[in-house]
Amino acid sequence: MLTLDGRTGEGGGQLVRIAVALAALTGQPLRVNNVRGNRRFGGGLKPQHVAAVDWLAAATHAAVDGVRPGSTTFTFKPKHVLLPHDTSPGNPIILRAATPAASTSLILQAVLPYLLFARPGLTKAGVPATPPAPVSIDLYGGTHVSFAPTFDYLDQVLFPTLEAWFGIRIERELVQAGWSTGPKHAETGVVRLVVHPLASAVENAVERTLIPKMPCLLPKDASDNKSVPSITLIEATVMAPADLLDPLAGSLAREVAQNTVLTPNPMTLTVDLQFRRIEESGHDSRVYVLLVARTDTIDGKEAGVRRWGRDYLGTETIKRGNKGGGIPKGLKVKGGKKGSKSRQAEVSAASEPTGGGFDMLCDRIARRVVLDLAAEISQGGCGDSYLQDQLVVFQALAAGQTSYWRGIGAAEKTEGEEKDTPGEEGTVPVDELQEAVEQLSLQDEKNGAKEEPQDGTGGDDKRDESIPDNMAAPFGQGSMHAATARWVTAQVLPAVRWSANGTVCEGVAWAGKK
């Protein structure tokens, strides 16, 4: 039985999710001790972990022990039975955690690899359907939960990247938003997904393999890693109380226009910022902003697009009183109503906020998101730090070599969904972040440029793919989440091979039965 210490690396829930996902696929008996042992407010399984492990156990006929909220040790012994799933939009797999604030995206992280390779439904004659049918799944829980990817991040960053780079197609719908803040008896969030089967490497073959469509975005000249990508489109999502929607849109447009990374030529005075969705959140404690930047296609191919996303999820209740004058001077919103799918905002780069409490709050939120996004893009690479660690498991399972690098020598924060505060699934006070955010650029300049890569190359990424990385402990460039994810894949999949400081992966070409 493979035994993992849950305190290894980032020591949180990601280790559990990846380990169980791969164990379910491979039939590897697994034991995890000290579950989430690095968490300040106590470790142990959370409701979203239990929901995912329980479902995978049922799907693989696994014997389990210790799978309950708060448990610090559990075992998972699958019989490696890929059950046929006779699902449809009217008969989906249902995954529901014990608490409404448990993150649906974190549940999905644990079950998605299995769903990609699970056998399709059977025909009335009892034989596998041909072609294999998609798998429908409804997830119940939190869709906008602190320290976890939101539905909007999955929808706009992760899922498009999985489709472009790996050919993984996932239809998705946010049926009902579910928040970790607001009324205690608010409606549970619902996410509806349709996971399409992987294409076979050979037509009508029994085995189904994950074949990357864009296996490598690594430039031949490693020095190009340090260049700042040219952004061709920025999209924004805003969910907030009704009277904050327009002020937030104005602050975002102004901050984007004045940021030289996002708008290389701010002297043009205007920025065309696409608002993907603007809608009321339903409560004064619910403020969510997501900015997604992307590059252009490569040789006209969508697969070459790179995406960076950073967001803000507030947990404080807005204090009304000294409210500003509404839409900031210079902001012109056109096209669509609140809640529409597409909206544009044009703002003069020289315009100033009108003052007042709302304007100060909106400016602070916008400044944080814009600075975070600009810092991610300035590091170069193929996407943001959160995207990188979520791609690791798919790289390990894929056929052939993949390389999705982060900016070399860039400073990374070890952030994740499990920096808990007592009594909640994961929240963070907003007012404590302003000064740190405003100093972000200075900190990156001071610390990031001098950080040594973990492979001991002294800052020069030689990318020698002939020498494998030392996989005995978390390794490679990027965040500690990414380093830990690579380590877990190496433990459960001994054939996986990482090299060049974690930037190159030779996957195991895992195949699932039709």
**Encoding tokens for residue 14?**
């990601």
Omega before 131 cis (within 30°)? yes
Read off the pLDDT band of 452 (50, 70, 90).
very low
CB 208 within 8 A of CB 117: yes
* Mean pLDDT, residues 250-258: 91
Residue 410 scores a pLDDT above 50: no
| Listed residue (231, 186, 181) closest to 428, CA to CA | 181
Name beta bridge partners: 288.
239, 313
Which is higher by pLDDT, 437 or 253? 253
Q: Which of 168-182, 254-268, 313-327 has the highest mean pLDDT?
A: 168-182
Choose the weakest-confidence range: 74-83, 312-321, 339-348, 434-443: 434-443
**Identity of the residue numbered 326:** G
Which is higher by pLDDT, 260 or 107? 107
pLDDT value of residue 42: 74
**Identity of the residue numbered 355:** G
DSSP 405-462: -B-TT-------TT---TTSSS---STTSHHHHHTHHHHIIIIITTPPPTT--TT---
Residue 380 scores a pLDDT above 70: yes
DSSP 198-261: PPPSSTT-SEEE---SS-B---SSGGGGGSPPPP-EEEEEEEE-HHHHHHHHHHHHHHHHH-TT
pLDDT in tens, 194-215: 998 887 644 445 567 899 988 8
Which is higher by pLDDT, 321 or 343? 321
Question: Tokens 């074949």, residue?
Answer: 211
pLDDT value of residue 265: 63
Which is higher by pLDDT, 445 or 113? 113
CB 212 within 8 A of CB 166: yes
Choose the weakest-confidence range: 467-471, 489-493, 502-506: 467-471
Other Cβ atoms less than 10 A from the Cβ of 220: the count is 5
Q: C-alpha distances in angstroms, 66 versus 38, 69, 153, 250, 333? A: 19, 9, 32, 50, 54
Residue 513 scores a pLDDT above 60: no
Residue 260 scores a pLDDT above 90: no
Residue 431 scores a pLDDT above 60: no
Q: Residue ranges of the domains in the chain?
A: 228-378
Length of the chain: 514
CA gap 105, 148 in Å, rounded? 7
Residue 397 scores a pLDDT above 50: yes
Which is higher by pLDDT, 391 or 302? 391
pLDDT value of residue 359: 79
Which is higher by pLDDT, 224 or 484? 484
What is the pLDDT of the chain when averaged over all its residues?
Answer: 77
pLDDT value of residue 318: 74
pLDDT in tens, 22-73: 999 999 999 999 999 888 777 899 999 999 999 999 999 999 999 999 999 9
Read off the pLDDT band of 83 (50, 70, 90).
low
**Encoding tokens for residue 400?**
């052939």
CB 151 within 8 A of CB 138: no
pLDDT value of residue 435: 34
**Identity of the residue numbered 510:** W
pLDDT value of residue 207: 62
Q: Which of 255-269, 410-424, 430-444, 469-483 has the highest mean pLDDT?
A: 469-483
CB 37 within 8 A of CB 43: yes
CB 81 within 8 A of CB 46: no
Name beta bridge partners: 277.
237
| Distance from chain centroid for Cα 396 | 17
* Mean pLDDT, residues 270-290: 86
pLDDT value of residue 437: 30
* Mean pLDDT, residues 80-102: 79
